Homo-oligomer: A and B are copies of this chain.
Amino acid sequence: MTYFTNVDKIKFEGASSKNPFAFKFYNPEEKVGGKTMEEILRYAVSYWHTFTMDGSDPFGAGSMQRPWDQYSGLDLAKARVEASFEFYNKIGVPFFCFHDIDIAPEGDNLRETNKNLDTIVSLIQDHMKDSKAKLLWNTANNFTHPRFVHGAATSSNADVYAYAAAKVKKGLEIGKELGAQNYVFWGGREGYDSLLNTNMKLELDNLARFYQMAIDYAQEIGFDAQFLIEPKPKEPTTHQYDYDVATAHAFLQNYGLEKHFKFNIEANHATLAGHTFEHELHYARINNMLGSVDANQGDPLLGWDTDEFPTDLWSTTLAMYEILQNGGLGRGGLNFDAKVRRASFKPEDLFHAHIAGMDAFAVGLRVAQSLIDDNVLENILDKRYETYTTGIGLEIAQGKTDFHKLEEYALGLGNIQQESGHLELIKATINQYLLQAFAK
């Protein structure tokens, strides 16, 4: 069956196209710095936002109009699978991602739930044979059901912990079965609402043990996906344990787990934590822990995760700069963890939104590559830090000095000559690259 009857395969038509169902900037075949856009960008569709969510918000019921609305239960799940592969094909993404309960309904008990999952996973496998789309990552939703009201691997209730473990076990098996490139841990309700009734030490110890068991089990079954932690602050618990990349890094080091994980970094989670998107990417990159990206954007005037499709070209440029500096995303990808606005409720809006996001990151890629080709930022850094390449600076950088030598040197200094940071000029330069990117 065809679900998106009025939309054909989305094609690249170039910057001057007036066709709302065409890419203006994302040309999958086009090479940028030696690889095709498709190879570099590794776009993925989020199953939950595109096929499962209904547009409800804390003040309103579902608004989305979907061509599978007439189904329910397993039939609904099957229709969504069918529609999803039509969508991957038409929008032209190489990857998709899902939580367990996105794809199959929960049964009356765990056994039934797993059976439902088996049915749908098998159906997905069938579709994958005829499709270019692969599984970028899967994960377990251990936060929606009321049993997870106090968390999952950090629940105050041991039964819930066991239940969560069983769901992750199944998730790892599904990942292996579908050839997932990565497996993601997003904290869900791993955090606390109030310290007044929380044993944080026990909860964190339990969380570390949970991760270790997941590592062991993946190894046991030969599932060699990259494990990813996705940090997020403030939602849904008041204090999420994986507040940001640095906090999760502290946790992993504290429990000796840092070699087993990289990070899945979401733009909107970064800004909610008080950081820029590029800061989180950069921090992960210099620690060799940049694994994958949840591509979206927030509203800086709102205090929650709005998961908007990314259209801020400044931000996509700086993000792509980090990704290119990282040598690409490896097994990771750019997953649109983004949802159409509640008022964009037509099926066609799913295409418009993905086109908007895919074009925006394609622009970012082109601008970032130009900056790299011209050594724009590299030259700035080389000049700015050149005092560390000779003399006392080199000794500092090589760890060959001490406070005695440094004091002696400092006592001999006159007025220190400082260079301007020239930030306004740098920003103007990036704007110029942006405006020129598609003018050639």
Q: How far is the CA of A293 from the CA of B205 in the complex (A)?
A: 26
Interface 1/0 per residue, A372-401 and B, CB below 8 Å: 000001001100110110011100110101
Q: How far is the CA of A239 from the CA of B356 in the complex (A)?
A: 23
Query: Given A216-B402, A279-B239, A436-B15, are A385 and B156 also a contact pair (CB < 8 Å)?
Result: yes
How many whole Å from A52's CB to the nearest CB in chain B? 13
| A169 contacts across to B, CB distance below 8 A | 403-404, 406-407
Whether a CB of chain B sits under 8 angstroms from the CB of A243 is: yes
Of residues 265 through 323 on chain A, the ones whose CB sits less than 8 Å from some CB of chain B are 271, 273-276, 278-279, 282-283, 286-287, 299-304, 309, 311-314, 318
Copy number in the complex reads 4
Q: How far is the CA of A251 from the CA of B60 in the complex (A)?
A: 26
How many chain A residues sit at the interface, stated as a range, is 35 or more
Whether a CB of chain B sits under 8 angstroms from the CB of A63 is: yes
How many whole Å from A285's CB to the nearest CB in chain B? 9
Of residues 109 through 136 on chain A, the ones whose CB sits less than 8 Å from some CB of chain B are 109-111
Of A144, A160, A348, A422, chain B has the most CB atoms within 10 Å of the CB of A422
Query: A162 touching B421 by the CB < 8 A rule?
Result: no
Residue of B nearest to A400 (CB): B209
Stretch from A35-43, A75-83, A177-185, A186-194 forming part of the interface with B? A186-194
Query: B144 touching A423 by the CB < 8 A rule?
Result: no
| A278 contacts across to B, CB distance below 8 A | 195
**Of the residues B238, B273, B344, B438, contact of A422 by C-beta under 8 Å:** B344
Interface pairs A-B: 6 shortest CB-CB:
A303-B303, A158-B393, A300-B300, A439-B439, A250-B250, A343-B421
